[in-house]
């Protein structure tokens, strides 16, 4: 009788740990803002949507680097010296420039440190930016489209027959 109790107790403990972990994974514990206010009311809808500017025109590091890159303030300025220079948000943009201060954009998409995510691989594989970033062309303020959990990555990697080796992303 002692032995069976012990086994049952162990089983309960294992189940509790597993259940706890599953709960942790599924509970909405990710408290990061999905659609944070940005320091400037930059509209992707106006740029990428209405005016049809290609994503890589500004995020030009994406095809060759792990990160997509945020355009330098000088790039914003070079257009807006001529395009609607009097709009209130553009005036605020120019105050950043005049103060020699970079704009402290709030990050929307991020993966933990133990995940290696290279933009270049995905761009080169011909993925459309929208598959992960959603309909950016319709968003005034960027809202995170994907939950960025491992299951979401794996699902797409399986579907596209990309590598699902652990070392592909965890290195």
Binding site residues, another protein, CB under 8 A: 29, 31-33, 36, 61, 64-67, 69-75, 97, 100-108, 110
Question: Of 120 and 164, which CB lies nearer to another protein in the complex structure?
Answer: 120
Smallest separation (angstroms) from another protein to the CB of 1? 28
* Tokens matching residue 170: 């965890």
Question: Of 100 and 159, which CB lies nearer to another protein in the complex structure?
Answer: 100
Smallest separation (angstroms) from another protein to the CB of 72? 4
Question: Of 4 and 74, which CB lies nearer to another protein in the complex structure?
Answer: 74
d(CA 117, CA 66): 7
Smallest separation (angstroms) from another protein to the CB of 74? 4
Question: Of 97 and 134, which CB lies nearer to another protein in the complex structure?
Answer: 97
Of 93, 109, 110, 95, the C-alpha closest to 41 is 93
Between the CA of residue 70 and those of 12, 106, 119, 130, 162, what are the distances in Å? 50, 11, 13, 17, 27
* Tokens matching residue 92: 């605020």
Smallest separation (angstroms) from another protein to the CB of 69? 5
Of 142, 144, 138, 143, the C-alpha closest to 49 is 138
């Amino acid at each position: 009788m002692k032995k069976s109790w012990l086994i049952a107790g162990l089983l309960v403990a294992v189940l509790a740990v597993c259940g706890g972990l599953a709960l942790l994974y599924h509970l909405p514990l990710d408290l990061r803002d999905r659609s944070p206010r940005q320091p400037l009311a930059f509209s992707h809808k106006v740029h990428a949507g209405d005016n049809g500017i290609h994503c890589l025109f500004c995020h030009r590091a994406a095809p060759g680097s792990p990160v997509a890159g945020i355009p330098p303030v000088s790039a914003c300025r070079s257009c807006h010296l001529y395009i609607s220079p009097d709009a209130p948000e553009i005036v605020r943009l120019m105050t950043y420039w005049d103060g020699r201060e970079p704009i402290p954009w709030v990050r929307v998409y991020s993966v933990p440190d133990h995940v290696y995510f290279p933009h270049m691989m995905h761009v080169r594989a011909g993925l459309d930016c929208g598959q992960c970033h959603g309909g950016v062309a319709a968003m005034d303020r960027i809202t995170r489209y994907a939950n960025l959990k491992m299951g979401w990555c794996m699902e797409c990697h399986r579907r596209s027959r990309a590598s699902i080796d652990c070392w592909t992303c965890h290195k």
